[in-house]
Amino acid sequence: MELIVKDLKSKANQIRKDVIEVVYRSKAGHVGGSLSSTDILTTLYYNVLNIDPQNSKDPDRDRFILSKGHIAELLYCILADKGFFDKEKLKTYSQYGSTLIGHPNNKNNGVEINTGSLGHGVPVAVGMALAGKRDNKKYRVFTLMGDGEQAEGSIWEGAMAAANYKLDNLVGIIDRNGLQISGTTEEVMALDKLSEKWASFGWEVVEVDGNDIEQLLKVFNNIPAKEGKPTMVIANTVKGKGISFMENVAKWHHGVLTKEEYNQAIKELEGVKDNE
């Protein structure tokens, strides 16, 4: 376990650096949420998901849906690193004519569906998970949401359906960083007692430090958390995790780095690498 955790931490640091490079080069992207979610997606893609870039349409593959689609640059960096497409393509992110647009686009290998209009992840994941159950498939479906996204009504319709159909092959994850584009989640649309809300809809709820890879591994390796129930992982994270001037700062929900900020961010990430 210690070796796995060390390797995943190193990989997460590399992915954060890739995200910073992509966002700085393109002058676009949602860097704060990408950095808060990096440990979650790194754990999933490098240790949990049953996927193969050489057989990306395998009917028995696990499915991942990025419901908080505005952090597409993070997903693209991981897919490129995993070999779903050439890493050189990352240089075209948000450029005219590129398929690497600002929200997940399934013209890119490894992207299951187009997302970005918030609230779609859970309902679509419910459909995929239900299809898996009815087809007697063993695949699992994971979807990552933002905490601000919890204000979308379609999420709760999907939540109710998932419990009704006993979809224990479905895993929802909430990036609970406490910030959204307009400020804190509690100022915009309070999420007090979020665990209780999901539990009341019939989900088995697990809370975890979403920036602690060892904790994430333990949770994801114990899926389903309870037989016969969908699992909701509330991952408490830090927006802008890993970059001192971005951490817990709302303006980095979406922000363009200056050359000086870019240099400082890379220096901080290189410092983490040197200390491993």
pLDDT digits (tens, 9 = 90+) for 230-253: 999 999 999 999 999 999 888 888
pLDDT given at position 139: 98
Q: Taking the CB of residue 258, how many other CB atoms lie within 10 A of it?
A: 10
pLDDT given at position 253: 84
- CA dist 224 → 124, 142, 221, 230 (Å): 19, 11, 9, 7
Contact yes or no for 242/272 (Cβ under 8 A): yes
Tell me how far the alpha carbon of residue 257 is from its chain's centroid. Answer: 22
CATH number, domain 2-275, options 1.10.10.10, 3.40.50.970, 3.40.630.30, 3.40.50.1980: 3.40.50.970
pLDDT given at position 276: 54
d(C-alpha 90, C-alpha 193), whole Å = 39
d(C-alpha 122, C-alpha 154), whole Å = 8
Closest CA to 72 of 126, 10, 19: 19
- β-pairing, 231-236 vs 63-66, is unpaired
d(C-alpha 81, C-alpha 19), whole Å = 12
pLDDT given at position 251: 83
Contact yes or no for 137/59 (Cβ under 8 A): yes
What's the angle, vertex CA 102, arms to CA 99 and CA 108, rounded to 5? Answer: 30
pLDDT given at position 191: 87
> What residues are paired with 142 via a beta bridge?
64, 171
d(C-alpha 69, C-alpha 101), whole Å = 11
pLDDT given at position 174: 98
**Residue 144, amino acid:** L
Q: Taking the CB of residue 58, how many other CB atoms lie within 10 A of it?
A: 12
**Residue 20, amino acid:** I
**Residue linked to tokens 């209009």:** 117
Closest CA to 169 of 8, 42, 60, 69: 60
CA atoms within 13 A on the CB side of 233: 30
Residues of the chain with pLDDT under 50: 275
Could you tell me the strand order of the sheet in which 231-236 lies?
Answer: 63-66, 141-146, 170-176, 231-236, 204-209
**Residue 204, amino acid:** E
pLDDT given at position 50: 97
- pTM, to two decimals: 0.95
pLDDT given at position 189: 83
